[in-house]
Amino acid sequence: MIEVNDVHKSFGDAHILKGISTCFDKGKTNLIIGQSGSGKTVFLKCLLGLFTPEQGSISYDKKNYGELSRDQQRDLRQEMGMVFQGSALFDSMSVEGNVMFPLEMFTKQSRSEMQDRVNIVLKRVNLVDAHHKFPSEISGGMQKRVAIARAIVMNPKYLFCDEPNSGLDPKTAILIDNLIQEITREFDITTVINTHDMNSVMEIGEKIIFLKNGLKEWEGTNKEIFKTDNEAVTSFVYSSELFKKVRQMYIEERN
Amino acid sequence: MNYLAAIGSYFIMIREVFKKPTKWSIMKSLILKEIDELIFGSLGIIIFISFFIGGVVTIQTALNLNSPLIPRSLIGFAARQSVILEFAPTFCSIIMAGKVGSYITSSIGTMRVTEQIDALEVMGVNSLNYLVFPKIIALLFYPFAIAIAMNVGIFGGWVAGAFGGFTSSAEFVEGLQMDFIPFHVTYSFIKSLVFAFVIATIPSFHGYYMKGGALEVGKASTTSFVWTSVVIIILNYILTQLLLG
């Protein structure tokens, strides 16, 4: 579980996060949504420890990140997995090398043990024939799956995903969403996803945080988002005609 | 004020590079890879430049020694002194600032742009140690490249002098052996080591802390070349004053 308490972050005169408090539950897919410029990425980078908030605290299973020493922070980060928007795979390494990297860095496993673990996670993300390919030789969807495999190879307690569906076709996007949700439940990890994708919101949004102008505007589940009267949320989530109709049908069905 | 902040950030970066070292088994392979890329990959251009610079120094010295009272052996002496004291360590370092420096800035800068550095940090890796430390260690071998540059430069001078008809081979060799001070070679190696550190760290700094996209990677490479060259030239003056003055 990740507890966020009154987090503020500024860059120069720009006050990006203006006091966000929330809680991300274990074993659930927690989504952060909001318009571009609402502070989602900055918030995610604060959760990852890449940005230090000026005010407020972030606790990972009761461990306050700000109160930890630099080495303890690095140790805590080894319990985190991150899927970046552009996958952020190491260009100079093969798929296998990318997934094996955290194991080589932080474990004392033998080569064969590492190889077994890599095979397991690559099989888990449905990538069995790409071990020796380089990131430039595989598709965007495959790169995302490699990034997920790399993120889960160390059995993380926390999984963060920044726009995991960006640049993917709808079918692959759904596959990636389902994969993340399955992994979250299977390994009982705290997953936080930063997304723009409304399909993801509807499909896997077990907990949704809506950010607006650096503040938490709304919080709920994918069921509750249909019922909410919050105008900022409805105008963002139901901005397309299709989603407006879906919501209308849902409300009519309920009535 | 910005310059002061950048200088401060540079020294903070240097401190971070030596903190929380990467596992030796991984670091070893990174160092070997960097030695191959940065040192062996640069030998071709260093040999090429040194050979012709040695030749040009010899020809220009010969053309300027018109007096019959000045022995022709001075051509070899001047070529040796110029190549060992200045052309091999300093000129080659400026070339390396362009070749190796821009490679370092663009490779680290691209990793920054594509969030690979963030990925390292999120995993708990000290990204500065992982990326910069192997380059510093690899460039400790830079004096070997400079030793080759010295030899090739003098050889180039001998080829140009003897085969160009500016001096005889015997006179050139006599000049090479004249008033040789071994400390001059030591001075040259000390300079090379200092320049190597500059070539490894300033381009790394510009790549690591760059912001923006692909265009900014190019700009950062140019800026890093300019600053690396400026620092090399200033340090060249200071070291010469300290060691020979």
pLDDT (0 to 100) of residue A200: 81
Q: What is the pLDDT of residues A232-241, one digit of tens each?
A: 888 887 777 7
Total-model pTM: 0.85
Residue among B20, B118, B119 whose CB faces A71 most closely? B20
pLDDT (0 to 100) of residue B1: 60
Contact of A64 with A57, CB cutoff 8 Å: yes
From the list A59, A65, A53, A64, the residue with the least C-alpha distance to A17 is A53
From the list A186, A194, A203, the residue with the least C-alpha distance to A82 is A194
Rounded to the nearest 5°, which phi and psi values hold at A17?
Answer: -105, 125
Q: What is the pLDDT of residues B3-46, one digit of tens each?
A: 899 999 999 999 999 988 888 989 999 999 999 999 999 999 99
The CA–CA distances, whole Å, from B209 to A12, B145, B205 equal 17, 29, 6
Strands, sheet with A55-60, edge to edge from the N-terminal-most edge strand: A14-24, A2-11, A55-60, A63-64
Which residues in chain A have Cβ-Cβ distances shorter than 8 Å to B114?
Answer: 86, 88, 91
pLDDT (0 to 100) of residue B59: 94
Q: What is the mean pLDDT of chain A?
A: 87
Q: ipTM, 2 decimals?
A: 0.81
pLDDT (0 to 100) of residue A1: 86
Residue B149: both structure tokens together = 């540059």
**Structure-token match 């609402």, residue found:** A38
Q: A104 vs B114: CB contact, 8 Å cut-off?
A: no
Q: A88 vs B126: CB contact, 8 Å cut-off?
A: no
Q: Which of B5-14, B62-71, B94-103, B203-212 has the lowest mean pLDDT?
A: B62-71
* Higher-scoring residue by pLDDT: A228, B240: B240
Report the residue of A65, A72, A82 to disrupt the B interface, i.e. the one with the largest count of B CBs within 10 Å. Answer: A82
Secondary structure in 3-state letters for A194-228: ECCCHHHHHHHCCEEEEEECCEEEEEECCCHHHHC
CA atoms within 13 A on the CB side of B63: 8
Contact of A221 with A20, CB cutoff 8 Å: no
Contact of A51 with B122, CB cutoff 8 Å: no
Distance from CA of A1 to the nearest CA of B (A): 18
* Rounded Cα gap, residues B149 and B46, in angstroms: 6
Confidence of residue A98 (pLDDT cuts 50, 70, 90): very high
Which residues in chain B have Cβ-Cβ distances shorter than 8 Å to A88?
Answer: 114-116, 118-119
Q: Which residues pair with A209 in a beta bridge?
A: A32, A219
The CA–CA distances, whole Å, from A231 to A39, A212, B156 equal 19, 12, 79
* Higher-scoring residue by pLDDT: A113, B69: A113
Q: Reduced to 3 states, what is the DSSP secondary structure of residue B72? A: coil
Report the residue of A105, A109, A110, A163 to disrupt the B interface, i.e. the one with the largest count of B CBs within 10 Å. Answer: A105
Confidence of residue A254 (pLDDT cuts 50, 70, 90): low
Q: Where are the alpha helices (DSSP H) in chain B?
A: 2-17, 24-34, 41-64, 73-82, 92-113, 116-123, 127-138, 142-163, 169-177, 183-208, 214-244
* Rounded Cα gap, residues B44 and B55, in angstroms: 17
* Higher-scoring residue by pLDDT: B93, A50: B93
Express the helix, strand and coil content of chain A in percent, nearest 5 each. Answer: 45, 25, 30
Q: What is the mean pLDDT of chain B?
A: 93
pLDDT (0 to 100) of residue B89: 93
Contact of B52 with B157, CB cutoff 8 Å: no
The contacts of residue A85 (CB under 8 Å, 6+ apart) are A162, A163, A164, A166, B115
Q: B116 vs A76: CB contact, 8 Å cut-off?
A: no
Contact of A6 with A162, CB cutoff 8 Å: no
pLDDT (0 to 100) of residue A168: 78
* Rounded Cα gap, residues B65 and B61, in angstroms: 6
Q: What is the pLDDT of residues B150-180, one digit of tens each?
A: 999 999 999 999 999 898 999 999 999 998 9
Rounded to the nearest 5°, which phi and psi values hold at A25?
Answer: -85, 150
Q: B114 vs A88: CB contact, 8 Å cut-off?
A: yes
Residue among A45, A76, A105 whose CB faces B26 most closely? A105
Q: Is the pLDDT of residue B185 over 80?
A: yes
Q: What is the pLDDT of residues B74-132, one digit of tens each?
A: 999 999 999 999 999 999 999 999 999 999 999 999 999 999 999 998 888 899 999 99
* Rounded Cα gap, residues B64 and A106, in angstroms: 64
pLDDT (0 to 100) of residue A36: 84
Q: What is the pLDDT of residues A150-164, one digit of tens each?
A: 988 988 899 999 888
Q: Is the pLDDT of residue B145 over 70?
A: yes
Confidence of residue A127 (pLDDT cuts 50, 70, 90): confident
Give the residue range(s) of CATH 3.40.50.300 domains in chain A: 2-79+157-254
Residues in chain A: 255
| DSSP conformation class of A242 | H
Q: What is the pLDDT of residues B11-20, one digit of tens each?
A: 999 999 998 8
Distance from CA of A133 to the nearest CA of B (A): 18
Q: Is the pLDDT of residue A179 over 90?
A: no
- First-to-last alpha carbon distance for chain A, in angstroms, is 36
Q: Is the pLDDT of residue A102 over 70?
A: yes
Q: What percent of chain A has pLDDT over 70?
A: 99
Q: What percent of chain A has pLDDT over 90?
A: 31
Contact of B138 with B39, CB cutoff 8 Å: yes
* Higher-scoring residue by pLDDT: A209, B70: A209
CATH fold of the domain at A2-79+157-254? Rossmann fold (3.40.50)
Q: What sign has the CA pseudo-torsion B13, B14, B16, B21?
A: positive
Amino acid (one-letter) located at A183: I
* Mean pLDDT within A177-206: 86
Q: What sign has the CA pseudo-torsion B191, B194, B200, B202?
A: negative
pLDDT (0 to 100) of residue A255: 67
Residue A149: both structure tokens together = 């495999």
